[in-house]
Structure 1
């Protein structure tokens, strides 16, 4: 293996044109530089420099060696520059987020990653669960966050790690909230905004409506929970959201909680390709979900 120190001394001589000039730049004795270059020539089995008057010039082999040295030390400098920005080399956590998971929940689950002493770069993708699971199977994702366990119909090897669950609550802008005094009876005939059919809670909500003897007027269905909330904020209908986020939803969208669907709970899972979670950032996500997000508020009765 080539000694990089010997190569660097040779490269400096090639750049400056003489041993004396190279020695001055390197803050070394000329004899030290000359000896190191000779050791490199011996290891390569060919002369790299030859006298040209008072200066030295490259032999044909020396020209090739100098060209390689240019690339080697340019890469070394690029590495040093890049490492100054630790974020560039932070360990990535590649997360797939099912579009049925509310963005507020996804944020609260993943935010603790930014608290790690060792920097982690979050790489987030949002999409349909089946597509994200395919990416997980190809090891393009470290984890998929979903509102359901890995479906048995999907031919992907994976493991479910339960993050927690929350009861669902109903929210409405002030005018609608004032008209809903007797919950859940007030939902009968009321304009309702519901998550799309891909949401695991959609069927359970419809069954709950039937059990309560109410038939809301469904005016909108949304795969994007944030868009559903925006319509709710504008007073277009009542909408469900995890009770664990009640305070946040009310503050952000200027709406009021009008009641909770007892017995209708939305659970969240981290689906991984490995049985045991080894990524330190992902371990923090599961711990924070249990200890912070789902510790008290919004738990099912």
Structure 2
């Protein structure tokens, strides 16, 4: 195979960073047609299409995202060389792009990412958003993995795969003052105001089914879709919270909140959603594996 033409690679890198051929050509001080020719030569050598058009924008294909990551690493290494010779510190880093549902427990996210956090050679980029935003970002190769608590619907035309990585029980949790001496599950659920996830949550769906089966009437003090806010509301003693204990792990450890009952047949499953890719990010192997899932669930 002929040696890689690094001029072609740098031109590709510039276009990928700009997302626009015209702007990249202006910055590189060459014509747009000449730049297009260089990109096509690189695609011919690699045997892969690197861009596809989306309106006036150029969007990286999967092969394009891989080439871009390598180009970033290659030119960063060049910067490292200059820094070393000029007695400045530097270092190559692997990058993992993670998306998380905006309402997902921060404690869960940290637990999932813990094997990579703090490594000198790894950079973790975390973005939050809706499920639709996360799936669109996966398809556009802007994310390597998305963390959600409801597996997205899938059919033969959808390219993503949902990996169950942890299942957490759901409990009734409140302040020591509100819980007092405790009591039966029925007494607490029917006698105290409740702080619940919103109707879209799988936890809420399961909880509503539970009280319907039991024939109990409950009083809802607040419905909250953000786990961080639900955690704060529970601490403010607005009512008893129906929540996975991992969400309020720190408060349970400190005694600020108490777990009084684990709700029967009710749990929350966490999923890592990835795309079917020829070139998956190798860092994912450390996070999405049976061993990693067991550690997280413990």
Calculate the TM-score normalised by the size of structure 1: 0.64
**Distance in 1, Cα, partners of 2:79 & 2:296:** 44
**Secondary structure of 2:199's partner?**
coil
Residue 189 of structure 1: CA displacement?
4.0
Contact 1:277 1:283 in 2 (8 A): no
**Distance in 2, Cα, partners of 1:204 & 1:144:** 23
**Distance in 2, Cα, partners of 1:78 & 1:105:** 35
Match of 2:127 in 1: 125
Matches for 1:222-301 after TM superposition, within 5 Å: 222-243=224-245, 248-251=250-253, 254-274=256-276, 278-287=280-289, 289-295=292-298
Match among 186, 190, 193 for residue 191 of structure 1: 193
Contact 1:96 1:141 in 2 (8 A): yes
Contact 1:167 1:260 in 2 (8 A): yes
Calculate the TM-score normalised by the size of structure 2: 0.65
**Secondary structure of 2:233's partner?**
helix
**Secondary structure of 2:164's partner?**
strand
**Distance in 1, Cα, partners of 2:139 & 2:222:** 34
Residue 212 of structure 1: CA displacement?
2.8
Match of 2:15 in 1: none
**Distance in 1, Cα, partners of 2:182 & 2:279:** 45
**Secondary structure of 1:123's partner?**
strand
Match of 1:84 in 2: 89
Distance 1:76 1:158, change over 3 A: closer
Query: Based on CA coordinates, which of the two structures has the bigger radius of gyration?
Result: 1
CA deviation string 1:120-176 (max 9, x = no partner): 111111111111111111111101111121223897420111102111111101121
Residue 270 of structure 1: CA displacement?
0.6
**Distance in 2, Cα, partners of 1:120 & 1:142:** 14
Structure 2 stretches of 5 or more lacking a match? 1-76
Residue 275 of structure 1: CA displacement?
6.2
**Distance in 2, Cα, partners of 1:115 & 1:277:** 25
Contact 1:100 1:146 in 2 (8 A): no
The answer on 1:177 being equivalent to 2:182 is: no
The answer on 1:101 being equivalent to 2:101 is: no
RMSD, matched Cα: 3.0
**Distance in 2, Cα, partners of 1:253 & 1:142:** 37
Structure 1 stretches of 5 or more lacking a match? 1-74, 296-301
Distance 1:154 1:148, change over 3 A: farther
Contact 2:196 2:243 in 1 (8 A): no
Residue 258 of structure 1: CA displacement?
1.1
**Distance in 1, Cα, partners of 2:264 & 2:279:** 32
Distance 1:132 1:84, change over 3 A: same
Residue 292 of structure 1: CA displacement?
1.6
Match among 143, 146, 167 for residue 144 of structure 1: 146
Residue 78 of structure 1: CA displacement?
7.0
Distance 1:233 1:157, change over 3 A: same
- Runs of 4+ residues deviating >3 angstroms: 75-79, 152-156, 243-249, 275-278
Match of 1:160 in 2: 162
**Distance in 2, Cα, partners of 1:223 & 1:234:** 17
The answer on 1:114 being equivalent to 2:117 is: yes
Residue 224 of structure 1: CA displacement?
1.2
CA deviation string 1:59-97 (max 9, x = no partner): xxxxxxxxxxxxxxxx966753288332xx411111110
**Distance in 1, Cα, partners of 2:170 & 2:207:** 9
